[in-house]
Amino acid sequence: MKTSSSPLAGTDRNPLVHELKFSMTDKIKIGLMSVTVFPVRLLLVSFFMLLAWPFAFTASLGRSELVPDPQSWWRRIIDLCLRVIMRAMWFCGGFHWIKVKGERAPPSEVPILTVAPHSSYFDAIPVTMTMCSIVAKLESQSVPVWGTLISYIRPVLVFRSDQHSRRKTVEEIKRRAQSGGKWPQIMIFPEGTCTNRSGLILFKAGAFIPGLPVQPVVLRYPNKLDTFSWTWRGPGAFKLLWLTLCQPHNSIEIEYLPIYRPSAKEREDPALFASNVRKLMAEALEVPLTDLSFDDRDIILSHGPLRIHDCTSLLHFNQLLGQLGLKSGSRGDRLEEEARRAAKLQGDRLGLEDFAQFLSLPVTDTLRQIHSLFHQDGDGKIDVRHYVTALSTVQRPHKPLDTLKLAFQLYEEDSGGVTGEDLAVVLEIMLGVKEVELAPLLLELEAQHTAKITYDELQCLIRKRPHFSVDCLSFKDHPRRGCIGRLNYCNGHNKDD
């Protein structure tokens, strides 16, 4: 599988991973704050959150979820009280002053605020300062105390159990945005997930589908020690809360950028609209653009014996699938059907038109790019089994043994196993690496003179070796390249025992 430009270009950090490193000074400071300031802050933050609950509960009584009720005088008073209480809560949490740049446009002029980067639950600070609506999961309303506060700001709810939830959410955003300011502004985090702020990942199109002006809002956390970022891999929510409350002062900057009014072309193409707003926000933040999306998280966070070592080509492949409407995880039954038909071809190579017919899709530039990823011999034809293996890898990155089993079903004949050459190609695709050699693997299996390898014996070895891809394979840019061939030294095993 050919390598393309890296989706991580411009940054040397994985945006979905956050690692905290403490100096000795940091450790001493945290230790002292943990037994002095932290308990007091936690008590005060909890007090103000509980104090806000009856106000939010009272204001939510008798309010319709479908009609934008006019703000009566007593609700305006409650709204003001809630803002004061929430500001006091953040102050007690160490956010002593909040720097705000620019001015927020009124709802009648801009119904949607797009906020990035999304990196923390402390991103709720601009929400509580403005009392804008947000897009939230239905389950969030059941969270004690905090759920009532979320209900007060009249969120656009996402019903994850409903297969049509995404379409309904977009329709609701569009309905509110076109109300002429009758509904509160909607504050949307278009990245759709939290990152470590090392770059802006791809924006979801929901905020841009209405085709109305948006106001970009950028967030910054200038603290030297980042105890805010809550990513898919890194410190958990409670640890971050503890560490943040142990900081003498926590800084946040909120900047309202000028209103972005879409062109006629952008109104017709929400993806283009989202892309241009993302570029503008990245320039204001002085961070690079990272061509990753929420749907790519499992690929770049894969782990285990068959973890993906270089996700570049697989991420590019997954993004091309998205352009064809075949994004990973969207059509699991399609994988089974294509695997069945690929097995019948028994290695027959397909040109572009035959490949399009195999997928029941028209020939497009995107399909041509996918086809070119699997060229090997320069004859313009591909082994469609390579495509199916890659498809399974991006759809099930957390289940590599299922992909390996599928590959064996595609390649083996009469359950006699697969050849080393075929297995090397499969592993190259699954690991995202080049030039896999199986000499260390054969040595582990004591199968130097065996023509084929079976799935059962390979599966058994993988389960026994938690670092299988590093210990039992050799490939280009191998993490332990200098050790391959000296297994008694590298792996802790002596084959002569």
| Cα–Cα–Cα angle for 480, 481, 482, rounded to 5 degrees | 95
Q: What residues does 133 pair with on adjacent strands? A: 186
Give the largest Cα separation in the chain, rounded. 86
Q: How far apart, in whole angstroms, are the C-alpha atoms of residue 422 and residue 407?
A: 9
Residue 485: pLDDT band by 50, 70, 90 thresholds? very low
- Checking DSSP bridges between strand 349-350 and strand 156-158, what pairing results, if any? unpaired
Compute the Cα dihedral for 277, 278, 279, 282 and give only its sign: positive
Contacts of 246 by beta carbon, 8 Å cutoff, 6+ apart: 29, 30, 33, 34, 37, 38, 227
For residues 368-390, average pLDDT: 88
Residue 260: pLDDT band by 50, 70, 90 thresholds? very high
| Cα–Cα–Cα angle for 230, 311, 123, rounded to 5 degrees | 20
Residue 138: pLDDT band by 50, 70, 90 thresholds? confident
pLDDT value of position 312: 87
Q: Which residue has the higher pLDDT, 110 or 376?
A: 110
The mean pLDDT of the chain is 87
Residue 481: pLDDT band by 50, 70, 90 thresholds? low
User: Phi, psi (5° rounding) for residue 437?
Assistant: -115, 140
Beta-strand runs (E) in 160-304: 186-188, 214-220, 253-256
pTM: 0.83
pLDDT value of position 144: 85
- DSSP-derived letter for residue 449 is T
Convert the pLDDT of each residue in 316-363 to its tens digit: 998 888 888 776 444 557 888 888 999 888 888 999 999 999 998 999
Answer yes or no: are the C-beta atoms of 49 and 145 closer than 8 Å. yes
Answer yes or no: are the C-beta atoms of 278 and 289 closer than 8 Å. yes
Convert the pLDDT of each residue in 59-97 to its tens digit: 888 777 777 777 788 889 999 999 999 999 999 999 999
| Cα–Cα–Cα angle for 184, 187, 192, rounded to 5 degrees | 145
pLDDT value of position 494: 38
Convert the pLDDT of each residue in 432-441 to its tens digit: 998 888 888 8
Which whole-number Å values give the CA distances from 133 to 127, 270, 410, in the listed order? 8, 21, 50
Q: Which residue has the higher pLDDT, 476 or 390?
A: 390
Q: How far apart, in whole angstroms, are the C-alpha atoms of residue 346 and residue 4?
A: 28
The one-letter amino acid code at 15 reads: P
pLDDT value of position 298: 87
Q: What residues does 113 pair with on adjacent strands? A: 187, 215
